[in-house]
């Protein structure tokens, strides 16, 4: 019988425009490689679908196939789950989510392409005899809740939240990684379900295959993660907690809210205790509920709770305020960590901690629907310091179609996500805006007042946009692309000729890619390029003509 280590792809293996450099992790259901994008000259992570229980490497050394005819059904079901999760993550763009940039189907299997992530995981941040400041923990909590809001709206859950699944990048920005929805779906077909759960972080419903999972499943894991950060103790297995409670014994994980000398506020401790309740229905069912609890004690202490009309502001401004004020604690903490030599080294072979991945959710039909509509996602962080004080732009793009991309044209990835405001009810949007703003000092809002046009800032953005154009980064990746930089210029100077011309250049480049794809018979790719172009200039006459031509081609 072949060893698992004999199944990995060797260094130098070519997968389209991607090259395998080394192996990062061998999981039960996939193999993760450190790779190199030869087209864009950047590092990537390549996740190969490879369920070892019912798959084997084919004789050519590249392909993946079921071990036997009896394994074919499980193999294909797992592949479908793997692609489903990847396609949803490819549609999500959020500054606190490690999204999927591309999906390839080759060699009888599928590959999920992600940007190479470097950062300090919460496992490495938590050190003996040290206390993480409340401002930093609240910033992490609010950032990850904002990310989960976006994920839950897509009708999936993360399911694998634990300290090793949250990274802090060099700017102190939390990043949610290691999504595990596909793992659960595949593990449910095998005897590996319990083995894939991270003890202490998995909610009780994850151990029961018939249970319906939902947002509260993620909240439990996030609460356990914050518990670990606060206490530096691994959380107890949920079964042990339930057993203790059934015997009339105290819950070993309840945080004392009223103890004198505690390093954390009562509202934060209450929120964590609520998220950690063993029964699914006893936990908060939405992000807004958690934020409302954090807000309630805060406004009581202020003595002047504000009305929605008084406090409602643009959602992007609210989230920007949170990042600027609460995030200062993270920045201070990260600087201290760097000075102490704790910063994550740039060794590509160490992107994961040794803790097992928690399983997420079963296929979408078992999702426990959250009835609360939530506020729109936080806008992406500015990548240039001079741009941080400028107004944020609304997203004009569309959610990409579900596809498996061709490796030959990796130059364009996923488009802009649709604006969440279209699906959120106004009452709940206002509610969350009130909550977020109440968590930061009133003076912070004053920093967001309109500022005069800054010519130096415009020059910086235009230079960055030109660099992105030369690197064929038209609309992706979401943190560094020409479209974003031109939009930032237009937010300062709506009539800027160079920025307006730049948007037209992006569309013209896509038109060329569309023409090449049509000649080669790659109509699906042509439609994806069209979608990216329409996200930039939806009213361009050339794009209307191309869409009509592609519609005719599809019928034929």
- Give CA–CA dist 226/278, Å, rounded: 16
- Give CA–CA dist 518/524, Å, rounded: 9
Establish whether the linkage from the previous residue to 143 is cis, with ω within 30° of 0: no
Cβ pair 192, 184 in contact under 8 A: no
Average pLDDT of span 417-442: 41
Predicted TM-score (pTM) of the model is 0.59
- Give CA–CA dist 53/56, Å, rounded: 9
Q: What is the DSSP letter of 97?
A: B
Phi, psi of 76 (to 5 degrees): -70, -35
Angle, CA 295 vertex, CA 429 and CA 361 arms, to 5°: 65
Which range has the worst mean pLDDT, 157-166, 293-302, 330-339, 456-465?
330-339
Q: What is the DSSP letter of 38?
A: T
Token pair for residue 448?
């967001």
Q: Which residue has the tokens 């009223």?
A: 258
CA dihedral 237, 239, 240, 241 (to 10 degrees): 90
Count CB neighbours of 79 within 10 A.
Answer: 20
pLDDT at 300 over 70: no
Residue (of 93, 133, 146, 165) closest to 322 by Cα position: 146
- Give CA–CA dist 241/329, Å, rounded: 33
Please give the mean pLDDT across all residues of the chain: 74
Residue (of 190, 204, 147) closest to 29 by Cα position: 190
Whole-number CA gyration radius for the chain: 24
Average pLDDT of span 502-531: 89
> Helix or strand or coil: residue 170?
coil
Q: What is the DSSP letter of 213?
A: B
Q: What is the DSSP letter of 19?
A: E
Phi, psi of 20 (to 5 degrees): -75, 130
Q: Which residues contact 190 (CB under 8 A, 6 or more apart)?
A: 51, 53, 54, 74
Domains of the chain: 7-115 (3.30.200.20), 123-177+188-368+425-445 (1.10.510.10), 451-555 (1.25.40)
- Give CA–CA dist 512/95, Å, rounded: 30
Cβ pair 437, 321 in contact under 8 A: yes
In our burial notation (b when 16+ CB lie closer than 10 A, e otherwise), range 242-259 reads eeeeeeeeeeebebeeee
Strand partners for 97:
176
- Give CA–CA dist 140/134, Å, rounded: 10
> Helix or strand or coil: residue 245?
helix
Average pLDDT of span 256-275: 84
> Helix or strand or coil: residue 217?
helix
Query: What's the pLDDT tens digit per position in 334-373?
Result: 544 443 444 433 333 333 344 443 333 343 334 554 443 3
- Give CA–CA dist 259/253, Å, rounded: 15
pLDDT at 269 over 60: yes
Count CB neighbours of 179 within 10 A.
Answer: 29
Angle, CA 60 vertex, CA 21 and CA 87 arms, to 5°: 60
- Give CA–CA dist 218/225, Å, rounded: 11
Q: Which residue has the tokens 């991270």?
A: 198
pLDDT at 459 over 70: yes
Cβ pair 27, 357 in contact under 8 A: yes
Distances (CA, A) of 486 to 458, 474, 495: 9, 10, 11
Sign, CA dihedral 252-257-260-265, equals positive
pLDDT confidence band for 432 (50 / 70 / 90): very low
Query: What's the pLDDT tens digit per position in 105-158?
Result: 889 999 999 988 888 899 988 888 778 888 889 999 999 999 999 999 998 899
Q: Which residue has the tokens 């299997």?
A: 109
- Give CA–CA dist 408/106, Å, rounded: 12
β-pairing verdict for 120-121 and 30-37? unpaired
Query: What's the pLDDT tens digit per position in 28-67?
Result: 889 999 999 888 788 999 999 999 888 999 988 899 999 9
Q: Residue 367 burial (CB < 10 Å; 0-12/13-18/19+)? A: buried
Strand partners for 168:
120, 174
Phi, psi of 105 (to 5 degrees): -120, 105
Higher pLDDT, 492 or 397: 492
Query: Measured in Å, how far apart are the chain's first and last C-alpha atoms?
Result: 48
């Amino acid at each position: 019988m072949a060893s698992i280590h004999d199944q990995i792809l060797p260094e130098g293996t070519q997968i389209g425009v991607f090259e395998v450099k080394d192996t990062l992790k061998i999981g039960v259901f996939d193999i993760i490689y450190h790779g190199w994008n030869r087209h864009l000259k950047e590092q990537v992570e390549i996740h190969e679908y490879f369920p070892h229980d019912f798959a084997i490497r084919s004789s050519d050394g590249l392909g993946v196939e079921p071990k036997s005819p009896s394994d074919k059904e499980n193999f294909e079901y797992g592949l479908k789950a793997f692609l489903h999760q990847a396609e949803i993550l490819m549609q999500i763009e959020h500054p606190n989510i490690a999204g999927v940039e591309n999906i390839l189907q080759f060699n009888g299997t599928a590959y999920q392409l992600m940007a190479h992530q470097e950062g300090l995981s919460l496992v490495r941040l938590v050190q003996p005899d040290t206390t993480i400041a409340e401002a930093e923990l609240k910033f992490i909590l609010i950032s990850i809740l904002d990310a989960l809001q976006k994920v839950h709206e897509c009708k999936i859950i993360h399911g694998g939240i634990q300290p090793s699944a949250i990274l802090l990048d060099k700017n102190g920005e939390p990043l949610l990684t290691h999504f595990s929805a596909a793992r659960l779906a595949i593990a449910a077909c095998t005897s590996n379900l319990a083995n894939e759960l991270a003890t202490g972080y998995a909610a009780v419903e994850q151990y029961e295959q018939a249970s319906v999972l939902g947002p509260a499943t993620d909240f439990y894991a996030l609460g356990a993660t914050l518990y670990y950060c606060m206490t530096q103790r691994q959380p107890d297995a949920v079964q042990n907690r339930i057993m203790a409670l059934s015997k009339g014994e105290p819950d070993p994980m309840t945080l004392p809210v009223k103890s004198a000398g505690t390093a954390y506020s009562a509202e934060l401790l209450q929120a964590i205790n609520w998220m950690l309740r063993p029964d699914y229905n006893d936990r908060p069912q939405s992000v807004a509920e958690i934020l409302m609890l954090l807000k309630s004690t805060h406004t009581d202490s202020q003595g002047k709770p504000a009305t929605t009309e008084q406090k409602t502001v643009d959602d992007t401004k609210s989230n920007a305020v949170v990042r600027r004020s609460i995030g200062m604690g993270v920045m201070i903490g990260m600087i201290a960590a760097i000075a102490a030599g704790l910063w994550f080294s740039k060794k590509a072979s160490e992107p994961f901690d040794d803790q097992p991945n928690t399983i997420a959710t079963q296929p979408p039909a078992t999702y426990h629907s959250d009835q609360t509509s939530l506020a729109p996602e936080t806008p992406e962080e500015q990548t240039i310091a001079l741009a941080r004080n400028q107004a944020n732009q609304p997203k004009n793009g569309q959610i990409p179609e579900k596809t498996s991309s061709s490796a030959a044209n990796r130059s364009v990835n996923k488009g802009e996500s649709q604006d969440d405001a279209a699906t959120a009810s106004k009452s709940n949007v206002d509610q969350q805006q009130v909550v977020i703003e109440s968590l930061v000092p009133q003076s912070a809002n004053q920093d967001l007042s309109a500022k005069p046009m800054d010519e130096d800032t415009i020059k910086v953005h235009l230079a960055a946009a030109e660099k992105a154009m030369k690197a064929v980064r038209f609309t992706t990746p979401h943190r560094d692309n020409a479209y974003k930089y031109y939009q930032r210029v237009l937010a300062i100077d709506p009539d800027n000729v160079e920025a307006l011309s730049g948007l037209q250049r992006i569309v013209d480049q896509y038109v060329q890619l569309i023409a090449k794809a049509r000649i080669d018979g790659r109509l699906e790719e042509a439609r994806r390029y069209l979608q990216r172009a329409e996200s930039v200039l939806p009213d361009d006459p050339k794009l209307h003509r191309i869409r009509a031509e592609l519609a005719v081609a599809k019928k034929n």
